[in-house]
Chains A and B, each alone.
Chain A
């Protein structure tokens, strides 16, 4: 039925988007999007605002209808099914609790819509509130609850109907940092305990990396990369993914046929070197080391350590952020950041001194330089 190369996972595929597209007037917000979410996994749609992640989520929920393509859940075509027949739990960024109903009535709403018998509605709604540890607030109105509590009510309301898919639209964006960490753990635990298939829309890479089984990195309405958090972080498919997920250094250079890359007049190597000509190289700041520049007598360039890259630059400034020190080093006309864990016995190099940066050649990512 589906036309996907990965035949092994076909049986486990639950939510499938096939060449899904959305246009608003003449604007192609999403040209064509295809992906398959497996049963029981949590997938993040990660991207900057305006990348189409929320639009995609709303198409899955049936709140906007796609211009082209197909959506299936468990093999059933739901593309044209109205949202109230889709059996999906949606958690909004604004929580969207019904202000005129008590917490309990909010949670019970979906069950009432399903014509569940009254005593059972109450019991199940209360149990759902217990799961999010809010049963003591069942008779309050949403406006009497804190943001985190409201978010948990919204979660209980979405989960109590045991939907086939749980959709979360930036659910943590309105919470403060500490609460966000707690809710991250709680949402993930709930999702894994219930084994529900979940789609999580976020612009926060930490949320995506820490909570989800796989991540769809989106940009301008198309998928840049779809993979596990490790794949996305270690093997980004494009400079965009590399710089959007985690911190990264971007340098411009020129690659020759032997895979030697010239950056700011100095030569380095990369693990893979399929690109030739102008390239962009990327390194994670925390995979690099900093050392005072070697003196002329023991020139490191002459006898480089096997598999290691080295660049000379000038330390411009350093930023102390508690558990990390960030060094900003000027290399040619580019700035490179190095992150090192702080140590108490560390003698910090002074700004303005020449330094050598070293890192593994295998930690160097090379992309053909963008046209810009």
Chain B
């Protein structure tokens, strides 16, 4: 028999974890929506965000010892700048190239980021400064509670999803991005500068992903290479929501977080150890088979 209090606690944990995944998933969807790039380096970009704080806030790496808040802000700025640099130096040259080429580039990018971090900070789990290990939690009914990092994740992911929806719907730049996403060539013919908008998309995507990485690290007290694995998990989320749908990525990530926690708690005894990791991936396969474009994905019609 399912105990209501436990069920609520597990559900809260699933939503909290899903909210952290959502930030990384929305970073993925934003880029796919605007540029069509399937970014397989999302896990490593989240890792970069997680370790960015360590690099700036602890003297062990670069001799810096910046306050935690400054380190977080700097990490997000680095994410923005990295997005600009990657677009200008790398991805701009792959516009119009086969999808597979771009996928391979993102895989290489992931390897470079991971290797760079191992070189710079080593393979160790790096503890976060105390200021980023808040001990507070919010009490909920039936004895459940939600911890600080999950609360921040839920709030920030809601802010990001609403902001991006408003941005795409009500701003000129957002309209340009939508136009470019719908038909890049037609947008260019109409004089729309899609290059600038694509740069913005990359910068925003990596900054949002960095925030996801920082919150994932906060949830476990510091940065560890296990965060890389989120790059695979978010595929289940974005496929479920629709690859190019930012609200879909948000919703999908919550579903994946819930599946993972329900799987770990309720299904391990039935399916066996690892149920929490297996169920989201089975879910991914089922979604691809039944609804390949996900809940809110756009059907792209190409004339040949």
The judgment on whether A and B are partners is: no
Which B residues are closer than 8 A to A by beta carbons?
A: none
